[in-house]
Amino acid sequence: MSLTLEHYLLLSAALFTIGAVGLVTRRNVIVLFMCVEIMLNAANLALIAFSRFHLVADGQMFAFTVMAVAAAEAGIGLAIMVNIFRHKKSLLVDDLNVFKN
């Protein structure tokens, strides 16, 4: 029995789940960002596995685009976090409740 598409898809689903669990359990905004990166990488792994399965390179194009979007998102998101930290002196989601009430 050799490697099948199933192996990679299960790995991708497992990584996505870890990212999703981290997203709902952690409280630090930067760690939440890292969990989003994990989920994006899980999607990339599935795309590249399908690309290898069908021997069509379009999946790698998608993954490439996802990486570029992730880079832009990380840049802007971290800039926003620096600004939030400057105002609130904290990066915990519990403290960022300006809109509450």
Binders of another protein among residues 43 to 72 (CB under 8 A) are 44-46, 48-49, 51-53, 55, 57-58, 60-61, 63-65, 67-72
Site for another protein in 12-41 (CB under 8 A): 12-28, 30-31, 33-35, 37-38, 41
Residue closer to another protein by CB (options 11, 96) is 11
**Spatial separation of the C-alpha atoms in residues 86 and 75, rounded to whole Å:** 17
Which amino acid type is present at position 74? A
**Spatial separation of the C-alpha atoms in residues 49 and 9, rounded to whole Å:** 8
- Nearest-CA neighbor of 69 among 40, 30, 49? 40
Six-digit token string for 52: 């290898």
Residue 11 binds another protein, judged by CB under 8 A = yes
Residue 88 binds another protein, judged by CB under 8 A = no
**Spatial separation of the C-alpha atoms in residues 16 and 12, rounded to whole Å:** 6
The structure tokens 């497992």 sit at 14
Residue 6 binds another protein, judged by CB under 8 A = yes
Residue 75 binds another protein, judged by CB under 8 A = yes
Q: How far is the CB of 101 from another protein (least distance, A)?
A: 18
Residue 93 binds another protein, judged by CB under 8 A = no
